[in-house]
Structure 1
Amino acid sequence: MSHVRNGGDLVVESLTTLGAACVFGLPGQHALGLFDALRRSPLRYVGLRVENNAGFAADGYARTAGTVAPLFLSTGPGALTSLAALQEAAAASVPVLAVSSQIPSAGLGGRRRGYLHELRDQQASFRDVVKSVHTARTASQIPSALAAAWESALTAPYGPVWVEIPQDVLLAPTTVPRVTGLRAEPRPLVPRPELIAEAAVLLAEAERPVVLAGGGVVRAGATAELLRLAELLRAPVASTFGAKGAFPWEHPLSLRSWLEDRHTTDLLEDADVLLVVGSGLGELSSNYHTLAPRGRVIQIEADLGKLESNHPAFGIHADARLALAALADSVPATAPDGRAEEAVALLLKQVRARLDAQGLDLEEGLLAAVRRALPDDSPVFFDMTILGYWAWSAFDARRPGAMHSAQGAGGLGYGFPAALGAAAGAGGRPVLAVSGDGGAMYSIAELATARQLGLDVTWLIVDDGGYGILREYMTDTFGAATATELARPDFVRLAESFGVPAARTRPEDLERDLAAALATPGPSVLVLPALLRMFAPTHLDPAGQERTGQERTGRAAG
């Protein structure tokens, strides 16, 4: 039976021409034209069991593959279920291109005709989440809408985009020629030369320059430029939780990522010029808005809404790589005198002393075991769980794009499906996911996906019987915890019922067991029963007094 090309074919032809290789999603009634067209395309389809998990998988793929990740969704409930994943992609500037079906065109325009999945204004549900919204109401509009969305997703700052196409447009025969010449050229966000010149003067004249590198450095591929500039300035570099791997962990100028420690905050405040690159200085990056710089702040930020949103600054609206390269070409080399390296060494010694006083050998040992077991070129995806919060500050990612978490929006259930997406484009590298037992239940259905597709993901589930970090918060704040204790399955037997090899491990065996699981092709699960504690961060209270404790709302459940 010969096939007559339709709108679905235009979608897959357009995405293929734009450079897509893989599509994530979950079929639904209005979107069947999309999924049928996949049969006639070279695109690889990675289907998940829940739309939100499909969104997280697309996110993980986009982060590791360094390109746009298409996500196919159906109308109404299917589309809405993806919102939390798209919020994380937006918060972390990840280029996910969601293509959603819509009810037939006859039901649009505000009329309520009672179609299945009908929403009064489906686009309105996504406008506050995604970077841009695009519609195609005829077949001829599809290629251009997708090209515009692709360009938007990859224009700094990167972000998720939304394309909506009615069911009848996807299914109707079309005479539009096969798509072959479609192009999308993201616009470079070039810094203005007069701003670079002035910033270079400020940095060259600074006696105590410090750099705070944000996630924008990693997204822009600006790590080499950051290293060059830091070494020219002899400036210490702190990396935010979203910038893991942006700067070499063991470099003598590396302050690492101890942003929840007051010593780091003090050093950032004491800088006479603080260069903030690719960060909006939000809650987590500013030690919960206690950072109060006393010197000049230079902020390089691609997201105009984040520029000077928290602190007055000499603002440069630009791509991080282009701006850092221009600055490195403009500042003279500072003669090394050892002061910056001494300041870094002192800070790390102070952090070490604070941790040693808290009796956290178990937690530090577990994170070190994960680091030793994980190959340097394998990415790890942490869910919102205590070991993940430790990783924000203490994990050496060793290279950009090697560690990811859901700290952008803070939603549970990110780790495992994002790791599955990364494995779909990892080129044979094993991928690690780390979840708590609470977060694991959000994505347990994706064990079926892992088994069906043979994805090379090892899932470490740290089982402490509940939402561990919320247990800590509530106990510290109220003296008792409520609604944090959870009944849960036998994760080992449950994984085995999906045909996924699984085992329990112990802290003293974790490195050996994890290394073995990662070296074995295909999916696997390791369950670690352990009750972990967070280190006590330090900050200043509103009266200016140093406080140590967990009275924060910035972390989510584990």
Structure 2
Amino acid sequence: MTHQTAEHSTAVALRNGGDLVVETLAALGARTVFGIPGQHALGLFDALSRSPLHFVSSRVENNAAFAADGYSRATGEVGVLFLSTGPGALTALAGLQEANATGVPMIVVASQIPLEGLGARRKGMLHQLDDQKASAANVTKSQRLIQHASGIPSAIQDAWTEAVSSPQGPVWLEIPQNVLLDKIMVPRVEDALAEPFDNPPRVELIREAVSWLSAAQRPVIVAGGGTRRGKAEPWLLSIAEKLNAPVVCSPGGNGAFPWDHELSLQAWVEDRHVTEVLEDADVLIVVGSSLGEVTSNYFTLTPRGRIIQIDAEPRVLESNRPALGIRADAGQALRALDSALNDALSGAGGNGAHWHAKTPQELVKETLAKVQARLDEQDLGLERTFMADIRSAVPDDMQTFWDMTIAAYWGWSCWDAREGEFHSAQGAGGLGYGYPAAIGGALGLQFQGKADRVLAVSGDGSSMYSIAELATARQHNAPVTWLIVDDGGYGILREYMVDAFGKATHTELARPDFVKLAESFGVPARRVAPADVGDALKAAFAGDGPNVVVVDTLLKMFGPTHLGI
């Protein structure tokens, strides 16, 4: 053996299973990993020291999952999460539920106890779970246990393909401690390819949909989150204009259709006037939405016409209403539908849609006016001005991340995303999403070479779920402005309880001085009155690294109908 060959063999022998993980991820295009080190995962973190991948260390595993989610949403890349065993893996599950419900592509690599401890062979090992991946079954697309180092590259490549194929979502892999640590002779991973599976619509279903739509007089479109995930916006706009069909966006679909378009009902899906428009449609096209709790205005929606439902997730189709179900990626489906409508409506100048002596444009204008009149009746000047001031301060292309708080509930309906992206936790509805997701998004954009700042919005209750991530933001100098709306408790739950029982119980919270707390982490912060929130945000956006704006105010939610009805 030559001296050069001996050196090469020694270099290969020093590598371990952790190296195969990070090499494969890098070959697939990963830039960043989120997570927290753990005893059984040390092989992963040792390998990161020999890798070009950025590592972002969160303080709580659930927040690391939210950060990987926010990274993926902001950048369009796959989020990568490293987890330790047992408690570490379990703590991340609520964050993964949000990613799974919202269709965010992620690769989750969880460590596992050594192979000899799996099953019933040995008990009492630290962090031991008899079937750890079973715990992830409800919140990830699939789960894999890798028992041999040589299987790592192919398993990660397969998982990546599954994560990016519609319906997108997080995929779980777990690797025992000894497989990560043991020295290997497997060659360095040089390349890897993971292309999403094709998910086009069936031809006969598109043909039937075109038949319905060609004859429709009152078509309406609901654009859900799948519209954005499938990058279907150009075809959504084209179809709406061909059919002369009003469009309303769900919270997840917010931004999929131009806010000020003459056919845009914006995102007022929780307003009864908009619900009535959907009910009066003779053909309702639902794209990338289950017509679930929020989009159906809390299951009060009772359509009288026929429904065409397009979704990549087969479990969603017809789950809440009978429909012509088209299982397909939203982008591929709307592109096919748009092309077919070109032929069907050729020379007709649209389908002649007309709403009871009104044009669709007149109907949209009248409906939005009714929405504003209803708000006028409800003494919501503070809330409307507050949201308008935030919107005015936020640059048109800034991405925003919203926690489950009253301001976010307003944002679902009234936020004009413009050229930015609107991200919220309405998929699963867990608290604590906004700030860690914003950190992941901001750092992801930074690693892409962009200098974009992002905004996170939380209440005082939800902010306490992620308050430890002030340390993460400071450590990585994340350009995130965190707006904390402090109303002294769980505001939306307070409203729910008062409405249901006449009083609220156990919704009031002791909380810290958020300004002093942020400053103790080295993060600049200021407290302002509601009237000054716009100026405070503009000043914060001009800053460097993380900063915090706290507003003490009690916001109310709008009622879905006119008072007394």
Fold in common (TM above 0.5):
yes
Please name the residue that 1:324 is paired with: 334
Does residue 76 (structure 1) correspond to residue 86 (structure 2)? The answer is yes
Please name the residue that 1:94 is paired with: 104
Does residue 537 (structure 1) correspond to residue 560 (structure 2)? The answer is yes
Please name the residue that 1:368 is paired with: 388
Please name the residue that 1:460 is paired with: 483
Q: Which one-letter code corresponds to 2:44 in the other structure?
A: L
Deviation at 1:195, TM superposition (A): 1.0
Question: SS of 1:24's equivalent?
Answer: strand
Please name the residue that 1:299 is paired with: 309
Q: Distance in 2 between matches of 1:404 and 1:245?
A: 10
1:88-167 pair list within 5 angstroms: 88-167=98-177
Please name the residue that 1:417 is paired with: 436
Give the TM-score of the pair, scaled to structure 2.
0.94
Q: Distance in 2 between matches of 1:475 and 1:285?
A: 24
Q: Distance in 1 between matches of 2:222 and 2:61?
A: 35
Does residue 397 (structure 1) correspond to residue 407 (structure 2)? The answer is no
> Which of 479, 499, 522 in structure 2 is aligned with 1:499?
522
Question: SS of 2:65's equivalent?
Answer: helix
Deviations 1:49-102 (A, max 9, x none): 000000000000011111211100000000000000000001111112110000
Q: Which one-letter code corresponds to 2:423 in the other structure?
A: H
Give unpaired runs (5+ residues) of structure 2. Answer: 1-9
Please name the residue that 2:505 is paired with: 482
Please name the residue that 1:443 is paired with: 466
Instruction: Tell me if structure 2 keeps the 8 A contact 1:260–1:538.
Output: no
Deviation at 1:538, TM superposition (A): 3.3
Please name the residue that 2:453 is paired with: 430
Deviation at 1:374, TM superposition (A): 0.8
Instruction: Tell me if structure 2 keeps the 8 A contact 1:96–1:160.
Output: yes
Q: Distance in 1 between matches of 2:561 and 2:145?
A: 48
Q: Distance in 2 between matches of 1:320 and 1:547?
A: 40
Q: Assess, with a 3 A threshold, how the Cα gap between structure 1 residues 197 and 335 changes in structure 2: closer, same or farther.
A: closer
Give unpaired runs (5+ residues) of structure 1. Answer: 540-545, 549-558
Q: Distance in 2 between matches of 1:246 and 1:112?
A: 53
Deviation at 1:184, TM superposition (A): 1.2
Q: Which one-letter code corresponds to 1:462 in the other structure?
A: V
Instruction: Tell me if structure 1 keeps the 8 A contact 2:432–2:464.
Output: yes
Q: Which one-letter code corresponds to 1:123 in the other structure?
A: K
Question: SS of 1:481's equivalent?
Answer: coil
CA RMSD of aligned residues (A): 1.4
Q: Which one-letter code corresponds to 1:74 in the other structure?
A: S
Please name the residue that 1:340 is paired with: 360
Q: Distance in 2 between matches of 1:134 and 1:503?
A: 47
Give the TM-score of the pair, scaled to structure 1.
0.95
Q: Distance in 1 between matches of 2:329 and 2:378?
A: 41
Please name the residue that 1:41 is paired with: 51
Please name the residue that 2:7 is paired with: none
Deviations 1:463-506 (A, max 9, x none): 01111111111122212111111111100011001000000111
Q: Distance in 1 between matches of 2:330 and 2:405?
A: 30
Instruction: Tell me if structure 1 keeps the 8 A contact 2:161–2:194.
Output: yes
Please name the residue that 1:85 is paired with: 95
Please name the residue that 1:520 is paired with: 543
Q: Which one-letter code corresponds to 2:497 in the other structure?
A: M
Deviations 1:171-227 (A, max 9, x none): 001111111132112101011111111111211110111000100000111111100
Q: Distance in 2 between matches of 1:242 and 1:176?
A: 43
Question: SS of 1:329's equivalent?
Answer: helix
Q: Distance in 2 between matches of 1:100 and 1:37?
A: 15
Question: SS of 2:47's equivalent?
Answer: helix
Q: Which stretch of structure 1 is more off in the superposition, 200-209 or 79-88?
A: 200-209
Does residue 509 (structure 1) correspond to residue 532 (structure 2)? The answer is yes
Does residue 275 (structure 1) correspond to residue 298 (structure 2)? The answer is no
Q: Distance in 2 between matches of 1:174 and 1:377?
A: 47
> Which of 151, 176, 194 in structure 2 is aligned with 1:184?
194
Question: SS of 1:425's equivalent?
Answer: helix
Please name the residue that 2:404 is paired with: 384
Does residue 9 (structure 1) correspond to residue 19 (structure 2)? The answer is yes
Please name the residue that 2:426 is paired with: 407
Q: Which one-letter code corresponds to 1:306 in the other structure?
A: V
Deviations 1:410-452 (A, max 9, x none): 1001000000000011221110000000111111111011111
Question: SS of 2:220's equivalent?
Answer: strand
Instruction: Tell me if structure 1 keeps the 8 A contact 2:374–2:561.
Output: no
Instruction: Tell me if structure 2 keeps the 8 A contact 1:430–1:519.
Output: no
Does residue 358 (structure 1) correspond to residue 359 (structure 2)? The answer is no
Deviation at 1:547, TM superposition (A): 7.5
Question: SS of 1:376's equivalent?
Answer: coil
Deviations 1:302-358 (A, max 9, x none): 000001111110111001011101111111240677711011011101101100000
| Structure 1 outlier segments of 4+, above 6 Å | 335-338
Instruction: Tell me if structure 1 keeps the 8 A contact 2:396–2:418.
Output: yes
1:243-254 pair list within 5 angstroms: 243-254=253-264
Deviation at 1:113, TM superposition (A): 2.0
Instruction: Tell me if structure 2 keeps the 8 A contact 1:112–1:120.
Output: no
Q: Which one-letter code corresponds to 1:389 in the other structure?
A: Y
Question: SS of 2:512's equivalent?
Answer: coil
Number of residue-to-residue matches in the alignment: 541
Q: Give the percent of matched residue pairs that are identical in Structure 1 and Structure 2.
A: 61
Please name the residue that 2:6 is paired with: none
Deviation at 1:519, TM superposition (A): 1.8
Q: Which one-letter code corresponds to 2:35 in the other structure?
A: G
Question: SS of 2:252's equivalent?
Answer: helix
Please name the residue that 1:554 is paired with: none
Q: Which one-letter code corresponds to 1:424 in the other structure?
A: L
Q: Which one-letter code corresponds to 1:115 in the other structure?
A: M
Question: SS of 2:175's equivalent?
Answer: strand
Please name the residue that 1:556 is paired with: none
Deviation at 1:111, TM superposition (A): 3.0
Please name the residue that 2:76 is paired with: 66
Instruction: Tell me if structure 1 keeps the 8 A contact 2:216–2:351.
Output: no
Does residue 260 (structure 1) correspond to residue 270 (structure 2)? The answer is yes
Q: Distance in 1 between matches of 2:468 and 2:147?
A: 35
Deviation at 1:109, TM superposition (A): 2.6
Instruction: Tell me if structure 1 keeps the 8 A contact 2:474–2:523.
Output: yes
Q: Distance in 2 between matches of 1:175 and 1:30?
A: 21
Q: Distance in 2 between matches of 1:251 and 1:499?
A: 44
Q: Which stretch of structure 1 is more off in the superposition, 182-191 or 78-87?
A: 182-191
Q: Which one-letter code corresponds to 1:334 in the other structure?
A: G
Q: Which one-letter code corresponds to 1:153 in the other structure?
A: A
Q: Distance in 1 between matches of 2:70 and 2:564?
A: 36
Q: Which stretch of structure 1 is more off in the superposition, 490-499 or 173-182?
A: 173-182
